Chains A and B, each alone.
Chain A
Amino acid sequence: DARVTQTPRHKVTEMGQEVTMRCQPILGHNTVFWYRQTMMQGLELLAYFRNRAPLDDSGMPKDRFSAEMPDATLATLKIQPSEPRDSAVYFCASGLENTEAFFGQGTRLTVV
């Protein structure tokens, strides 16, 4: 049963701490998306990778956020330092170009 796996599912951290979220895309998928969902902003695209190369991270606050794909089976999203306004659900999705994309279950981040 192929699925996008995100860890951790929940994270509570103190302001100023580093947060790392991980995503294992579906094997063989070459596109990976990171989204943030809040009540106010809905689903916002943070970063988009194709064949592990970042194509678009214009939606990501550059001063504190970074996204990487160290290999084809792992995508990471880091926040350093974290702030309360970063509290949200972070989704990862994967797919092949020009086909259906699938979402992970998300990481619910709370920064206190």
Chain B
Amino acid sequence: QKEVEQNSGPLSVPEGAIASLNCTYSDRGSQSFFWYRQYSGKSPELIMSIYSNGDKEDGRFTAQLNKASQYVSLLIRDSQPSDSATYLCAVGPMDSSYKLIFGSGTRLLVRP
């Protein structure tokens, strides 16, 4: 059973701080990794994708991938109250280029 694990939170950080969200996955052959943001009552919104080991930066967001340790993380710099949402980690397993396996999400609260 392929799994993607996330701490459900809530992770509470003050405004302006760095929020660090983590995700581990069980399928060592996974090739693609994604972070989605989901506001309450809304659909998941893709914010980052990463395919290679290392860091990938996009604005205030940095995704980090370590395939050897089977974890992927998302850093949000200068956190804003508008970043408060549930962040879903998704992993593309090796045996399917179409299927994504989602974690249950980490709820982030940014305190003003």
**Chains A and B come from one and the same complex:** no
Q: Which residues of A contact B (CB under 8 A)?
A: none
Q: Which residues of B contact A (CB under 8 A)?
A: none
